[in-house]
Amino acid sequence: MAANATVRIDMELPTDLARLRLPEGVDRRLQALLDKQDRGEPLNVDEAAEAEGLVELSELLTLLRLRAQGSGSSAAE
């Protein structure tokens, strides 16, 4: 196989996807970073990258949850 070959993996989403939640400790870490910034202490490069990643993770989990709920209600109709 060539080094740059693309491998496609089809995955079925679990039916209990709506149960995926942002861990409390992760939420608290994100709050701590936002608190620091809000106190007027700029985030360093690593902290800014971490905060950006945590925001994206939380939004991704939110979207998965909303879509799981949406597909659940569609299936029930």
Partner 1 sequence: MNRDYVPLSLQRRVRDRARNRCEYCGISQAFQEATFHVDHVHPRSEEGPTEYENLALACVSCSLRKGARTHALDPATGARVATYNPRHDRWNEHFAVGEDMRIVGRTPSGRATVELLSMNRTLAVAIRVEEARCGRFP
Shortest CB 19 distance to partner 1, Å: 12
If one asks whether residue 44 binds partner 1 (CB under 8 A), the answer comes out as no
Phi, psi of 39, rounded to the nearest 5 degrees? -75, -5
Helix and strand numbers (H, E) in the chain are: 2, 0
Start-to-end CA span in the chain (Å): 46
Choice from 28, 44, 49, 72 touching partner 1 (CB under 8 A): 28
Q: Which residues bind partner 1 (CB under 8 A)?
A: 21-22, 27-28, 30-35, 37-40, 42, 51-52, 54-56, 58-63, 65-67, 69-70
